[in-house]
C-alpha cells in the first residue's frame, strides 16, 4: 500500500535527517530507491552516503522526472510494474520543481500530488516529497500538508492535521476555465468523421507554436479526446485551437456530461474496453484540464510552444 509523505525542511541537516535513513533503510530491505532531488540536495545526499550505498541509488534529474503531471504519474507506475517478485517496494525521494510555473501549472501539480493518493493507493510504493520552506512560497508549503497524509519527521512520521480528501481537493480545484482569447482562435465542428479534426490540428498547431517533432503526438492526443466526445459524450462537439505565451491549447467540447472521477489520472485496466483515451492524452500533453457538468464537457489539451 502506498505511503505518501511530505518532507518539509528548512536546513540541510533537516533534509538529511529524513532522507538518509529513508534511503539506507530501503536499500537494506532490498527496495528500489530513486532520488529525484535538486542538484544541491543530490550532492548532499551523495556526500552523506558511503560510496557503495550511493551507487545503488538511481539519481534522476527533477526537470526530467517532473516533466508533466500525467507523465510523472506514469513514471511511478512503470517503476512499480518493474519490481521483481513479492519482496521490496519502490521508494522515491522527490523534490517537485515549483519555480518558473504559472498559476495553472502550479494548480495542476498540486492536483497531481493529491490524486497520487488515489492513483497509487494499492501500489508497493513509498514516496517522500521534499519541500524547502526557505525558498518556496508559504502557500505551496501549506498545500503540501493538504496533499500528503503524513509528514516525514527525522526517522519517523506524523499525520498531517490538514490533509484533505483527494475528491474534495480535486473538486475544489475545478475552478472555471480561463476565458478563451477574443482573437486568434481557430474553430471546427466535430461530427462522426475524425479525419477533419486531425487535419485541423495539422493545419494550425505548428503555426501556433507546437514543435514539429511533437505534432504527431499532439494530433493523437486530440484524436483520443475527440473520440471520447463521440463515443461516450453527446456524439458531436467542437474543437478550438489557440496559443498563449507559453502553450498551444486545443479545446474539445461536447454537450454531454461525464462522470468526473479523476478522469485521465487513473490508469485503466489493460483488459478494459474503455477508459484509455484520457490517460493516453495526459501522457502526451504537458497539461490537461477537464470540466464537466450539465452544460457539457470541456477538455483542454496544452502543449508547450517552441522556444
Mean pLDDT of the chain: 93
Please determine, for residue 159, whether its predicted confidence score (pLDDT) is greater than 80: yes
Q: What is the reported pLDDT for 28?
A: 93
In the chain, domain spans: 3-172, 186-304
Q: What is the reported pLDDT for 257?
A: 85
Please determine, for residue 185, whether its predicted confidence score (pLDDT) is greater than 90: yes
Fold of 186-304: Heat Shock Protein 90 (3.30.565)
The yes-or-no answer to whether 3-172 and 186-304 have a common fold is: no
Cβ contact 277:231 at 8 Å = no
CATH: 3.30.70.580, 3.30.230.70, 3.40.50.300, 3.40.440.10. Which one for 3-172?
3.40.50.300
Please, which pLDDT band fits residue 94 given cuts at 50, 70 and 90?
very high
Comparing CA positions, the residue from 258, 265, 264, 269 lying closest to residue 293 is 258
Placement of cell 519555480 in the chain:
99
- What's the rounded mean pLDDT across residues 25-49? 95
Please, which pLDDT band fits residue 137 given cuts at 50, 70 and 90?
very high
Please determine, for residue 271, whether its predicted confidence score (pLDDT) is greater than 80: no
- What's the rounded mean pLDDT across residues 284-296? 93
- What's the pTM value of the predicted model, to 2 decimals? 0.93
Residue 201 makes CB contacts below 8 A (sequence gap 6+) with 215, 218, 219, 222, 241, 250
Amino acid at each position: 500500500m502506498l505511503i505518501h509523505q511530505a518532507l518539509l525542511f528548512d536546513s540541510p541537516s533537516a533534509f538529511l535527517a529524513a532522507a538518509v535513513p529513508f534511503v539506507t533503510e530501503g536499500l537494506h530491505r532490498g527496495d528500489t530507491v530513486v532520488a529525484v532531488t535538486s542538484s544541491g540536495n543530490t550532492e548532499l545526499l551523495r556526500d552523506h552516503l558511503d560510496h557503495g550505498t550511493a551507487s545503488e541509488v538511481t539519481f534522476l534529474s527533477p526537470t526530467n522526472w517532473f516533466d508533466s503531471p500525467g507523465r510523472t504519474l506514469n513514471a511511478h507506475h512503470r517503476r512499480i510494474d518493474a519490481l521483481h517478485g513479492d519482496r521490496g517496494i519502490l521508494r522515491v525521494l522527490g523534490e517537485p520543481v515549483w519555480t518558473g510555473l504559472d498559476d495553472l501549472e502550479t494548480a495542476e501539480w498540486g492536483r497531481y500530488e493529491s490524486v497520487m493518493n488515489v492513483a497509487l493507493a494499492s501500489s508497493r510504493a513509498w514516496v517522500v516529497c521534499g519541500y524547502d520552506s526557505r525558498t518556496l512560497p508559504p502557500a505551496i508549503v501549506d498545500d503540501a500538508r493538504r496533499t500528503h497524509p503524513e509528514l516525514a519527521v527525522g526517522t519517523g512520521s506524523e499525520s498531517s492535521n490538514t490533509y484533505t480528501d483527494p475528491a474534495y481537493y480535486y473538486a475544489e480545484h475545478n475552478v472555471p476555465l480561463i476565458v478563451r482569447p477574443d482573437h486568434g482562435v481557430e474553430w471546427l465542428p466535430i461530427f462522426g468523421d475524425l479525419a477533419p479534426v486531425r487535419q485541423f490540428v495539422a493545419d494550425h498547431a505548428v503555426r501556433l507554436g507546437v514543435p514539429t517533432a511533437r505534432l504527431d503526438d499532439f494530433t493523437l492526443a486530440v484524436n483520443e479526446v475527440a473520440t471520447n466526445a463521440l463515443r461516450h459524450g453527446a456524439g458531436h462537439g467542437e474543437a478550438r485551437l489557440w496559443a498563449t505565451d507559453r502553450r498551444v491549447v486545443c479545446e474539445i467540447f461536447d454537450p454531454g456530461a461525464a462522470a468526473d472521477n479523476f478522469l485521465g489520472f487513473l490508469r485503466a485496466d489493460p483488459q478494459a474496453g474503455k477508459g484509455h483515451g484520457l490517460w493516453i492524452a495526459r501522457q502526451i500533453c504537458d497539461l490537461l484540464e477537464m470540466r464537466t457538468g450539465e452544460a457539457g464537457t470541456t477538455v483542454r489539451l496544452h502543449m508547450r510552444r517552441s522556444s
